[in-house]
Amino acid sequence: MKQLNPLSIVLFVVVFGALAVVPQFTNDYIVSLLIGLLMYANLATAWGVFCGTTRRVSLATAAFVGVGCYTVALFSETLPWPLVLVLSAVFGGILALLIGLCTLRLSGMYFVIFTFGVAEMIRQLVNWYESNISGSVGRYIFLDVTSAEIYWQLLILFALVWILGFWLSRSRLGFALRLIGEDQVAAGNCGINTVKVRLLVFVGTSMIMSVVGAIIAPRWAYIEPSIAFNALVSFQVLVMALLGGIALYFGPVIGVVPLILAFEVLTKYFPDHFSMVLGAIFLIIVYWLPGGILGLLRRWGAIRG
């Protein structure tokens, strides 16, 4: 693994240190916007670490976010907050392990359809349980957590995800993951345990997604299956990652900022046409930006890698 450039460490500390003090000098609207940015930055980066390198498109993001949300709804009143976050990661990891074991032989569109189907199945199961067993469709989350505290938690998680992505991009595990993405058979012939590597990274990134759901849940105050397991989240994360580019671990983040700002405008002024515009953006990315913004910058010689 290459040695870390000291200048990169200083830049990392300065950027995240500056982001940490932003809530002290701005208003609630800006903090709310930044929470949305950090939420999707975490999700898109975690998604890109696995899907970008293995070339397997997962639409199960909403399932892991929902697991995190319902972990908070079930345990936040009886357990300390750090333990709730740990539980959300554990539950998300168990779900990812089950999905991973069921999809060992799947690839391409079959993997996409399976992950989307699993997310929808879990949403329907939770909906059935809440309607028929609990007797109420939704749950309220009353926690004394400010917007700034949610922002800081997401920022700390993003810093950890960023460090994880950087380490993975330069480690043997990351190299094995990229080789699996290029040619799984060749990777196996090179002595790489392709099943173990894919499961390890898929479970790890899914645990991050569940923690994101747990952190953001108090922000919503009220959740129900259609909110916690919203399939639109899976598609938005996919579009953001593709817009930014998945060739490097930080690529998906590049697509988060323009799309979050675009969604903010569309939600305010064109709420009835949101899905239509999202579809149009997806088509533009596929036809005109196949490598995303990252690929465009690489063609221009602005970045290497």
Q: Which residues make beta-bridge pairs with 223? A: 139
Say if residue 302's pLDDT is above 70.
no
Tokens of 265: 């405008």
Predicted confidence at residue 70, as pLDDT, reads: 94
Q: Which residues contact 51 (CB under 8 A, 6 or more apart)?
A: 57, 58, 241, 246
**Residue-wise pLDDT tens digits, 91-142:** 999 999 998 888 766 777 888 888 899 899 999 999 999 888 887 778 888 8
The pLDDT tens digits of the residues spanning 17-32 come to 888 998 888 888 899 9
Record the tokens describing residue 236, joined without a space.
């938005």
Q: What does the buried/exposed string (b/e) look like for 225-240 if buried means 16 or more CB atoms within 10 Å of the residue's CB?
A: beebbbbebbbbbbbb
Q: What is the pLDDT of residue 303?
A: 61
Task: Determine the pLDDT at residue 95.
Answer: 94
pLDDT of 277 reads 77
Q: What is the pTM of this model?
A: 0.89
Q: Is a pLDDT exceeding 80 seen at residue 231?
A: yes
pLDDT tens digits, one per residue of 272-285: 777 777 778 778 77
User: What is the torsional sign of CA 176, 179, 183, 186?
Assistant: negative
Q: How many CA atoms lie within 13 A of 82 on its CB side?
A: 0
Backbone region of residue 292 per phi and psi (left: phi > 0; alpha: psi in -120 to 50; beta: other values): left
Confidence of residue 160 (pLDDT cuts 50, 70, 90): very high
Q: What is the pLDDT of residues 39-82, one digit of tens each?
A: 999 999 999 888 888 888 889 999 999 999 999 999 988 999 99
- Please, which pLDDT band fits residue 305 given cuts at 50, 70 and 90? low
Residue 1: predicted pLDDT = 54
- Average pLDDT over the chain reads 86
* Alpha carbons within 13 A on the beta-carbon side of 219: 23
Q: How many CB atoms lie within 10 A of CB 54?
A: 22
Tens-place pLDDT, residues 202-221 = 999 999 999 999 999 998 88
What is the reported pLDDT for 295? 77
Tell me the C-alpha distance between 110 and 116, whole Å.
10
pLDDT number for residue 4? 62
Task: Give the DSSP H or E segment for 284.
Answer: helix 274-288
Beta strands in 43-153 (DSSP E): 139-140
